[in-house]
Amino acid sequence: MKAEILARKPPITATPDMRIKDVAKIMAERKIGLVVIVEKNQPDVAIGVVSERDLVRAVANNVGLNLPVKEIMSSPVITVEGEEPIWNVAKIMREHNIRHVVVTNKGKLYGVISIRDLVAEESVLKSLIEYGIPEEHRPSAD
């Protein structure tokens, strides 16, 4: 299976000048864990992402929630092309310790895959098992 098949599309986006609290509200209302940050004049190019982790860090560090989201966004963005096999997407997520990956199509923003998307699909799990992860590279159980 390829990444483009599993990607949730279109991705939910925001601009870097939006307030942190407004992006958090979008995430809560849409029940999503990641918003892709794009410029108004280039809505198909991801310049950053804001995840639940970024929001938690902001609150823990007393960052003003009226500040622009560019202050807490993660950049550069970890992306995969839509043609990427799903087992490699899982590998990339593990290597970078991330729960979401942005999917592109010929470099243009296409969608997002979350760890939940990976584990929710029986066919994806079978693919991950088929390609396997060598025992010595599996993450620890803690």
User: Out of 6-10, 97-101, 138-142, which region has the weakest mean confidence (pLDDT)?
Assistant: 138-142
Domains in the chain, CATH or no CATH each: 3-137 (3.10.580.10)
Assigned token pair, 124: 């994806």
Mean pLDDT of 116-130: 71
Rounded (10°) angle between helices 122-131 and 86-96: 80
Kindly tell me if the per-residue pLDDT of 81 is higher than 60.
Answer: yes
* Strand partners of residue 2: 85
The per-residue pLDDT for 53 is 93
Structure letter (DSSP) for residue 82: T
Residues 27-74 pLDDT 10s: 999 999 999 999 999 999 999 999 999 999 999 999 999 999 999 999
Percent of the chain with pLDDT over 90: 75
Q: Which amino acid, residue 104? A: T
What is the helix, strand, coil percentage profile of the chain, to 5? 40, 30, 30
Percent of the chain with pLDDT over 70: 85
